[in-house]
Structure 1
Amino acid sequence: MPHSTTAALALACFAALAYVAATAPLLANRSSGVPGRTPLLIGALAALLHAAVVVSDWFAHGGLSSSFFDAVSLTALIVVVVTLLYQYSQRLAALLAPVYISAAICVALAAGFGHYSPINAESPGMLTHVITAITGYGLLCLAALYALVLSSAERGLRKGRQGPWLSALPALDSLEQHLFSLLLATWLTIGVSIVTGMLYVDNLLQQHLLHKTVFTLVSWITLAALLLGRHFYGWRGRTAVRWTLIAFVLLALGFLGSKFVLDVVLNRV
């Protein structure tokens, strides 16, 4: 059963429509790699509506929900916000369209199929753990998308065939620099989540959390290896893309794997 209030459902519909509206000018002007103000402003409005959905449900139920669709929706919101902030330093139309469409789908699914599953975040330390865990996953989602854009640009450059968006991208060195800056922020955020989890989660190594702990640690170590490889050996290009996607898949398995099985496959309510 959907848990959203009528107000939250209405806000979710408006948010999804706003994301679609923000995507339209990007698709209509695919020859430009730099988005104009319109998709950025509409996207910011959509993000505000999306945030209002989360806040509305938070107040209605007394806390955040950890169910699969709600977790995915909150992650999508974080990705949108970080992507919009990134546009101030490097405007990339190739990032905005998939981020907006994904967010529209996520907020709609959460409103229609989400159910409330409370997160126990009563202490400040536990709340820090929850926030950094979700933020870290959102940052790694964006890094994975960035890596795919980098891979497409590199492949197009080698073959001499680039689409309108990719041909307008910044230099590969600039893309790589932004990717590794994002990966460093991701690694630090996940590191804080791991430390606060060890300090404030009593049952971190029990069976229902063990796989999350293991996958998160392995993903974090993978990111550390990639950052060290970049610093000492100059790793870049396909190596950076490959390791970024591996870290993303590992964290996705830990962060959302069990939620998907319980909430979607087994239809737990």
Structure 2
Amino acid sequence: MTSLPVIIALLATAAYASTFWYLLIHLLQKIPPHKLVTLVLLSLGLILHASVLFPALITPAGINYNIFNLISLTCWLMLAFSFLFSTYRPILGLNLLATPVACVGLLISVIWHGPFVSLSQGGLWLDVHIFLSLAAYCVLWMASIQAILLWAQNRELKQKTDKRIWVALLPPLQTMEKLLFDMIALGFGLLTLALSFGIFTIDSFFAQHLAHKTVFSILSWLVFGALLIGHWRLGWRGQRAISFTLWGFGLLLVGFIGSKLVLELILHIPA
């Protein structure tokens, strides 16, 4: 007998697939998609996805941090943020990238089931810190992808070639640049909150192996903060904004993934 979460997941997949094909057909026909139709389809997929994700994530025994739940949550957050930006920026076509990602994340969590993973120490502060950190990483990861797309657009415009693939496919350069700074501002705010709440989770700074993660996270926070100040006060944009964005996200990656690999694979210390 098919369980209710599987049925809901299939309905969410249908909503995501409908959104993807609706946007793709309009892109191929070079017709702007209808904003209300797109947002309704997106919101339906997000709601159905959430109704499968959050009962599996938030359980009576505590929050289940297994890898499949985290993948599903990460993909859901990326589409949720893309939905948010689409409500006030003319970037509906960019959901062609975010929708399949969300769908894959959902299906992974439904098909595979990992063991229950709970963090016994830290309580509410740690849960809030983890959620804010994950949200910040998602937005800043999206910003790094946005920076790469912006670089591709800039490159085609400077080359002045006849075949401008990225210029033709993506929203106007000015819109893409505004979206980049929207993402950075939101990601910077979430990272600020994550670092602030993280203070309440520290018992022993070095014993918990937090020094490396904290240092690189703060360096990343400084890079993004400097970029925002430079943009608002000095008009920084273009290649400088792209470079700062990629450097800032690179520091986050080194702080989280890089240090985790060193601790667990080389030093054999749980991170």
TM-score (norm 1): 0.80
Which residue pairs with 2:56 in the alignment? 57
3-state DSSP of counterpart to 1:57: helix
In structure 2, which of residues 33, 36, 42 is the aligned counterpart of residue 35 of structure 1?
A: 33
Which residue pairs with 2:128 in the alignment? 128
Moved more, 48-57 or 202-211: 202-211
CA contact (8 A) 1:34 1:91 kept: no
* CA displacement at 1:121 relative to structure 2: 7.8
3-state DSSP of counterpart to 2:117: coil
- The residue type paired with residue 202 of structure 1 is D
In structure 2, the gaps of 5 or more residues are none
CA contact (8 A) 2:85 2:179 kept: no
In structure 1, the gaps of 5 or more residues are none
* CA displacement at 1:183 relative to structure 2: 0.8
CA contact (8 A) 1:33 1:92 kept: no
Paired residues for 1:104-183 under 5 Å: 104-115=103-114, 116-119=116-119, 123-160=123-160, 161-163=163-165, 166-167=167-168, 169-183=170-184
CA contact (8 A) 2:56 2:69 kept: no
Distance 1:120 1:14 in 2: 35
Identity %: 26
Which residue pairs with 1:216 in the alignment? 217
Distance 2:72 2:241 in 1: 27
- Name the larger-Rg structure: 2
Give the direction of change, closer, same or farther, for the CA distance of 1:216–1:82 in structure 2 (3 Å limit). same
Give the direction of change, closer, same or farther, for the CA distance of 1:248–1:110 in structure 2 (3 Å limit). farther
* CA displacement at 1:168 relative to structure 2: 6.7
* CA displacement at 1:30 relative to structure 2: 1.4
Distance 2:120 2:226 in 1: 32
- The residue type paired with residue 83 of structure 2 is L
- The residue type paired with residue 227 of structure 1 is L
Moved more, 232-241 or 7-16: 7-16
Report which structure shows greater RCO (CA 8 Å, sep ≥6). 1
3-state DSSP of counterpart to 1:29: helix
Distance 1:137 1:68 in 2: 16
- Write the deviation string for residues 90-116 of structure 1: whole angstroms up to 9, x where unpaired: 121442011111111122223333523
TM-score (norm 2): 0.79
CA contact (8 A) 2:122 2:201 kept: no
Give the direction of change, closer, same or farther, for the CA distance of 1:250–1:217 in structure 2 (3 Å limit). same
Give the direction of change, closer, same or farther, for the CA distance of 1:93–1:47 in structure 2 (3 Å limit). same
CA contact (8 A) 1:215 1:254 kept: yes
Note the aligned Cα RMSD (angstroms).
3.2
Which residue pairs with 1:23 in the alignment? 20
* CA displacement at 1:250 relative to structure 2: 3.0
